[in-house]
A and B are shown apart, each in its own frame.
Chain A
Amino acid sequence: MIESILFWIFAVLAVAGGIAVFVVDSMARATYALAVSFVAVGGIIVMLHLDYIGVITILMMIMEMAIMAVFMVMFMGMNPALMPMDMTHSTRRSAVLATLTFLVLAVAIIVIPWPDRTGSAAADLTRSLGEAIMGSKMLVMLTISPVLFATIVASLVLANPRGRYDRYGADLDRRDPDGRAHPEDPIGGGIGR
């Protein structure tokens, strides 16, 4: 009983949040409406007893939206961020696409002959889900993930140590008018370099 009430609360929140993203007229509101939607989805995942994945979803989505709001505001330029603005574009095409996707998924839910449960649920659902998805590729993934992480860090370093490459491109050895070798960074870091 309580479980189905909770499910419906989360489900309605998730859908309503998703709709709100396109109805509201401010970037901050749209961003956080999306966050609410994702958090509700995280709640549903927790209800499937995938606690870790559910809570991590909530964590990541809130963090992501907090950062995304900043970037959205930053990249709007000539700041209309505070302006009431329409959050939709290519309305007709999007509507068609959305309806089609919904229909395909809904039909799939009804048509696919879902298998009945055999056996009992594992003690740790998160672990068994991970093994079911990854299986024998676990070692590969473990090896690749540090490489991926290193790639991200390296590309960030190349792209933006305080914006120098951004500002001066390959011309890093140019000298300032006063003869300094490096473009001077106005704000020093905390460890006195």
Chain B
Amino acid sequence: MSDPVLAAVLLVPIAVVTLAGVTASANGALDARTRGAPLRSGFTAPLHEAARLLRQQRRTLPGADSLLWRIAGAGIGMVAVLKVVVIPFGDTVFADLPVGLVWFNAMDVLLWALWWLLGWGANSGWSLVGGYRFLAQALSYEIPLMFALTAPAIGAGSLRMLDIQAAQVDLWFVVWMPLAALVFAVSVVAFSSWGPFQTALGTDVGGGVVAELSGIDRLLVLGGRYAVLVAGAAFSVPLFLGGGAGPVLPAGVWVVLKTCAVLAGLITLRRLFPTLRPERVAEIAWVVVVPLVLVQLAVVAVIVGMHGGAL
């Protein structure tokens, strides 16, 4: 078996799980500080939770579609790994697809199916409401996200992640496509169903799609959620933040560092906003955000046309 394949199979999942753990730990520590709980309990939360859930009994409900339910729970983390394999670490890409960008988009649409199935499979009212809430939210964020993904593709004139990264040698895309970058970041939070976009798992529906999950199933979903967040943050690096470009350190390290910076930003932002209800977000997304992103695309296209390529 060739080296990149082996690395992709072993390294990527380990790295994603580690970063997801670190993110959850940082988030837990901040929560603990706000609540006045011991800081240590926040930092170690991912470890303790994992042990706790591994030791816990699994549940199922009468009439539950356990097959679909468990597939959905296990799938979320896998989607994260599948997203990360097309991210270039310097010149190394585990899977150098000529359409890496579209691959990312396809994987993010897979989350639609998984979150909904998670809500459906449980055969519980709260879960079902949670699953449908995610779809309602997805209808708001997906179209802006697709347009936002188009901007770097136009800028680089390619869908290959290496080309998109290479087109930012002189100037990072985030500088001249700030709106697309912002929409992308918000969408990452939205497809992870986390922070202000956590309606599918909301307190007001008793935990929504995770309301009936326990044991390993719950661990996979809650961990998978952080893994997807990490994958999204990591993807913003070659897309908008110049990929592995940076002084002194090797490119791979820079990618991880930039990912951590994005994650830190997301964790901070989470604390500033209450949950945004899907029925309120829909109108904003379609009436305000979609036209703005289209204007962004037009600006990018004009710049590329005038300049004959990326800035």
State yes or no: do A and B touch (Cβ within 8 Å): yes
Q: Using CB atoms and an 8 Å cutoff, list the residues of chain A in contact with chain B.
A: 26, 28-29, 32, 35, 51-52, 55-56, 58-59, 62-63, 65-67, 69-70, 82, 187, 189-191, 193
CB 8 Å contact bits of B109-132 with A (1 = contact, 0 = none)? 110110011001101000000001
B78 beta carbon closer than 8 Å to chain A: no
Q: A28-B65, A29-B68 are in contact. Are A70 and B284 (CB under 8 A)?
A: no
Q: A70-B132, A191-B283, A191-B288 are in contact. Are A62 and B110 (CB under 8 A)?
A: yes
Q: Using CB atoms and an 8 Å cutoff, list the residues of chain B in contact with chain A.
A: 63, 65, 67-68, 97-99, 102-103, 105-106, 109-110, 112-113, 116-117, 120-121, 123, 132, 135, 138, 142, 159, 279-284, 287-288
A59 — which chain B residues lie within 8 A by C-beta? 102, 105-106, 109
B287 touches A55 (CB 8 A): no
Q: Helix, strand, loop or mixed for chain A's interface? A: helix
Q: A28-B68, A28-B117, A51-B99 are in contact. Are A62 and B284 (CB under 8 A)?
A: no
Q: A59-B109, A63-B112, A65-B113 are in contact. Are A82 and B102 (CB under 8 A)?
A: no
Which one of B106, B113, B282 contacts A66 once the chains associate, using CB atoms below 8 Å?
Answer: B113
Q: A69-B116, A70-B116, A70-B135 are in contact. Are A52 and B159 (CB under 8 A)?
A: yes
- Nearest 6 CB-CB pairs, A to B? A189-B283, A190-B280, A59-B106, A66-B112, A190-B283, A190-B284
Which one of B63, B98, B283 contacts A51 once the chains associate, using CB atoms below 8 Å?
Answer: B98
Give the Cβ gap from A148 to chain B, nearest Cβ, in Å.
17
> What total of A-B pairs shows CB separation below 8 Å?
73
Which one of B102, B123, B142 contacts A55 once the chains associate, using CB atoms below 8 Å?
Answer: B102
B159 — which chain A residues lie within 8 A by C-beta? 52
Report the nearest A residue to B139, measured CB to CB: A67
Report the nearest A residue to B64, measured CB to CB: A82
Q: A26-B65, A29-B67, A58-B106 are in contact. Are A52 and B113 (CB under 8 A)?
A: no
B103 — which chain A residues lie within 8 A by C-beta? 55
B68 — which chain A residues lie within 8 A by C-beta? 28-29, 32
B102 touches A52 (CB 8 A): yes
A193 — which chain B residues lie within 8 A by C-beta? 283
B279 touches A187 (CB 8 A): yes
Report the nearest B residue to A26, measured CB to CB: B65
B97 — which chain A residues lie within 8 A by C-beta? 51, 55
Report the nearest B residue to A74, measured CB to CB: B132
> In the bound complex, how far is the Cα of B102 from the Cα of A52, in angstroms?
7
